[in-house]
Amino acid sequence: DAGVIQSPRHEVTEMGQEVTLRCKPISGHNSLFWYRQTMMRGLELLIYFNNNVPIDDSGMPEDRFSAKMPNASFSTLKIQPSEPRDSAVYFCASSLLSGREAFFGQGTRLTVV
């Protein structure tokens, strides 16, 4: 398996633009997590899904952020409108619902200028 696949790897956008980050979890995994990593706050869980259903989105910073999982093999994290403080590395991770290990993708480095 290729592991968790995220795209794009790098994204530079202007303030106010819409940004969409994409994630393909490991086949067969039924839990999916979106994390944000910054120097100041470390790794923060934004939202997670079990069997494509959002379970906990309490980490989503504000209404500008939204996440969807239309099927078991694809998820998106959207920021609209983007702001400079959204600049961070965004990670997607997946796991088996009954498992413990979360497998992380390589991340998307987002820069909002």
Size of the site for another protein (CB under 8 A): 22
Which is nearer to another protein, 73 or 106 (by Cβ)? 106
Q: Out of 33, 36, 79, 88, which residue is the one contacting another protein (CB under 8 A)?
A: 33
Which is nearer to another protein, 8 or 16 (by Cβ)? 8
Q: Out of 29, 105, 110, 112, which residue is the one contacting another protein (CB under 8 A)?
A: 105
Quick check: bond before 8 cis, omega within 30?
yes
Distance CA 4, CA 106 (A): 8
Distance CA 105, CA 77 (A): 14
Which is nearer to another protein, 7 or 80 (by Cβ)? 7
Distance CA 32, CA 51 (A): 8
Total count of residues recorded for the chain: 113
Token reading at 11:
């994204």
Which is nearer to another protein, 5 or 81 (by Cβ)? 5
Residue with tokens 């997590």: 33
Q: Where do contacts with another protein occur on this chain (CB under 8 A)?
A: 4, 33, 42-45, 48, 50, 55-56, 91, 93, 97-98, 100-107
